[in-house]
C-alpha cells in the first residue's frame, strides 16, 4: 500500500509539474521529494550531478554556436537543399530536420524550418500537412541520435556511473540508423496522406476568400542570398570539429589520460568529463575567434531551453531516484523479471514516461537509472533508445503546436477526437520502426 501511495505521489507531481513547464516540473518535484522524505521516511536519493554538469557544458557551447551565427549558416544550407528538391519535400524535409537536430543537439531548430517547408509545399501544390507533420516528428527523433543532445548525454552519464563500458559512439551506432529508418518510413507513409489540395473541400472553401488565399499562398522569408560574415561559418566549423573530437575520443579510450582509481589501477577519465571539457573549450574558441559577446549567449534560445532542461532533470531525477531506490528490491523482483521475459515492456515504460514528462531528457533521468538498478540488460536499453520519444502522443508539445500554427493552409491540425491529430501515425511509425531496427542492430553489435 505504501509503495502504491508513493507512486501516486510521484505520478501526481509529474502530471501537475508538466502543466507548468520544465522549471515548474522541477519545483513541483520538490513537493514529492519532501513528502517522500518527511512523510514516508525514505532516504533522499542522489541528483545526477555529473549528468547535469555535462548538459550545462553542452548547452553553453550550443549557445555560443547560435550567438556566433553558426546555427544560421546550418539553416541556410538546409534551405538550399530543400528548395533544390521541391518535388521531394515530403521525404527531404523530415530528413533535414532530423539531421539538423543531430548537429545541434536540440529539436528547437525546427521552428525556423517550418515556414520554409510550408512555402515549398504550398507552391508545389503539395498538401503541407504531409511534409510538415513528419518534419516535426523527425526533429524530435533526432535527439536520441545526437552526440550533443541532453538526452544522449544523460544516457552516457548514467552508463558511466554504473560502470558500463559503452561509449558515445556505441550508442550512436544504434541510434543513428534506427532513428533514420524510422524517419524514412514515416516520410514514405506521409507521401499520400490526406486529400490532394484540389480535392479537399475545406481547403477549397478557405481559398474562395481572396484575402485568405493571399494569406495561404503568401511568400515566406528566405535565408538564401543573404550575405553572412565569415565568423558565422567559422563558428559552425568549430562546433562540428568539437563533435568529431568527442566521437573519436569516445571510441578510442587509449587516447585519454589515465589516472589511478581507489584500488591503484589506471583508468582513463570518463567520457562525461571529456564531453564537458571539449564543449567548454569549443565555446572558448568561438568566444575569441568569432566576435561573440559572452553576455549575449545567456539570451540565446538554445541556451535558455537547455538551462530549463538542466533544472527539470535536477528536480525530477532527484524525486524519482528517492522513490525508486527505496523500493529497488521489489522492483528488481517484479519489473526485472518482466523486462527480461518481455523486452518490449521497457520500451513501453520509456515511451509513456516520455509522454508523461514531455521531455526525452527527463524521461531518461527517470527510466534509465531505474532500468539499470533492476538489472536490465544495457543492450535492451540501447536497443529501444527511440522509445524515449513519446510526447507526440498528445499534440501538446511546443514544436507540434508551432507546426500547426505555421501551416497557413490549415491541413496540419488537432483532430476532432484529439488522438487523431496530424502527428500520431508518423510518430508511431517512426518510433516503432526505430525500436525494431535498433533491437536488431544492438543485438548484432553487442
More confident residue, 113 or 2: 113
Per-residue pLDDT, 136: 93
Mean pLDDT for the stretch of residues 191-214: 88
Residue 175 pLDDT > 80, yes or no?
Answer: yes
Closest to 160 in 3D by CA, of 269, 74, 244, 248: 269
132-136, 227-231, 437-441 — which is least confidently predicted?
227-231
Per-residue pLDDT, 336: 66
Residue 337 pLDDT > 70, yes or no?
Answer: no
Confidence of residue 21 (pLDDT cuts 50, 70, 90): low
For residue 228, the number of C-alpha atoms closer than 13 Å in the C-beta half-sphere is: 22
Mean pLDDT for the stretch of residues 128-142: 94
Mean pLDDT for the stretch of residues 56-73: 87
Residue 425 pLDDT > 90, yes or no?
Answer: yes
DSSP-derived secondary structure letter, 256: S
For the stretch 345-369, pLDDT in tens is: 899 988 988 887 778 887 888 889 8
Per-residue pLDDT, 423: 93
Per-residue pLDDT, 345: 86
Q: Give the predicted TM-score (pTM) of the model.
A: 0.80
Per-residue pLDDT, 334: 67
Residue 235 pLDDT > 90, yes or no?
Answer: yes
Confidence of residue 168 (pLDDT cuts 50, 70, 90): confident
More confident residue, 13 or 386: 386
| Mean confidence (pLDDT) of the chain | 86
125 class by beta-carbon count within 10 Å (0-12 exposed, 13-18 middle, 19+ buried): exposed
The b-or-e profile of 316-349 (16+ CB within 10 A means b, else e) is bbbbbbbbbbbbeeebeeebbeebeeebebbbeb
Rounded CA separation 77/152 (Å): 25
Mean pLDDT for the stretch of residues 398-416: 83
Residue 91 pLDDT > 70, yes or no?
Answer: yes
75-89, 234-248, 307-321, 327-341 — which is least confidently predicted?
327-341
Mean pLDDT for the stretch of residues 105-128: 86
Mean pLDDT for the stretch of residues 325-339: 71
Residue whose C-alpha cell is 553553453: 60
Per-residue pLDDT, 335: 67
Residue whose C-alpha cell is 587509449: 254
Amino acid at each position: 500500500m505504501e509503495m502504491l501511495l508513493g507512486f501516486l505521489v510521484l505520478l501526481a507531481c509529474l502530471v501537475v509539474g508538466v502543466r507548468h513547464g520544465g522549471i515548474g516540473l522541477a519545483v513541483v518535484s520538490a513537493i514529492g521529494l519532501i513528502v517522500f522524505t518527511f512523510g514516508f521516511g525514505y532516504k533522499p536519493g542522489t541528483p545526477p550531478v555529473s549528468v547535469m554538469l555535462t548538459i550545462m557544458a553542452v548547452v553553453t557551447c550550443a549557445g555560443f554556436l547560435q550567438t556566433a551565427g553558426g546555427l544560421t549558416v546550418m539553416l541556410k544550407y538546409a534551405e538550399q537543399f530543400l528548395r533544390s528538391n521541391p518535388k521531394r519535400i515530403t521525404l527531404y524535409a523530415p530528413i533535414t530536420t532530423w539531421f539538423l537536430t543531430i548537429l545541434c543537439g536540440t529539436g528547437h531548430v525546427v521552428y525556423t524550418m517550418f515556414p520554409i517547408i510550408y512555402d515549398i509545399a504550398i507552391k508545389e501544390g503539395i498538401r503541407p500537412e504531409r511534409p510538415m507533420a513528419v518534419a516535426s516528428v523527425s526533429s524530435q527523433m533526432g535527439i536520441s541520435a545526437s552526440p550533443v543532445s541532453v538526452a544522449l548525454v544523460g544516457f552516457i552519464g548514467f552508463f558511466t556511473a554504473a560502470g558500463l563500458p559503452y561509449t558515445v559512439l556505441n550508442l550512436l551506432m544504434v541510434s543513428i540508423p534506427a532513428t533514420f529508418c524510422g524517419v524514412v518510413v514515416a516520410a514514405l507513409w506521409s507521401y499520400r496522406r490526406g486529400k490532394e489540395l484540389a480535392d479537399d473541400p475545406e481547403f477549397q472553401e478557405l481559398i474562395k476568400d481572396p484575402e485568405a488565399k493571399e494569406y495561404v499562398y503568401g511568400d515566406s522569408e528566405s535565408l538564401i542570398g543573404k550575405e553572412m560574415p565569415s565568423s558565422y561559418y567559422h563558428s559552425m566549423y568549430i562546433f562540428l570539429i568539437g563533435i568529431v573530437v568527442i566521437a573519436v575520443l569516445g571510441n578510442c579510450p587509449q587516447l585519454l589520460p589515465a589516472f589511478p582509481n581507489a584500488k591503484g589501477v589506471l583508468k582513463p577519465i570518463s567520457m562525461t568529463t571529456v564531453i564537458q571539457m571539449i564543449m567548454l573549450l569549443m565555446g572558448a574558441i568561438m568566444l575569441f575567434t568569432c566576435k561573440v559577446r559572452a553576455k549575449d549567449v545567456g539570451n540565446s534560445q538554445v541556451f535558455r531551453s537547455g538551462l530549463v532542461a538542466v533544472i527539470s532533470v535536477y528536480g525530477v531525477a532527484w524525486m524519482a531516484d528517492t522513490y525508486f531506490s527505496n523500493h529497488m528490491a521489489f522492483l528488481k523482483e517484479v519489473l526485472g523479471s518482466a523486462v527480461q521475459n518481455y523486452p518490449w515492456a521497457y520500451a513501453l515504460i520509456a515511451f509513456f514516461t516520455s509522454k508523461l514528462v514531455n521531455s526525452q531528457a527527463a524521461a531518461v533521468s527517470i527510466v534509465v537509472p531505474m532500468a539499470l538498478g533492476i538489472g536490465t540488460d544495457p543492450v535492451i536499453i540501447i536497443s529501444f533508445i527511440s522509445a524515449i520519444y513519446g510526447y507526440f502522443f498528445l499534440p501538446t508539445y511546443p514544436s507540434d503546436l508551432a507546426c500547426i500554427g505555421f501551416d497557413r493552409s490549415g491541413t496540419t491540425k488537432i483532430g476532432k477526437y484529439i488522438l487523431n491529430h496530424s502527428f500520431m501515425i508518423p510518430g508511431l511509425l517512426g518510433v516503432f520502426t526505430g525500436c525494431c531496427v535498433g533491437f536488431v542492430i544492438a543485438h548484432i553489435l553487442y
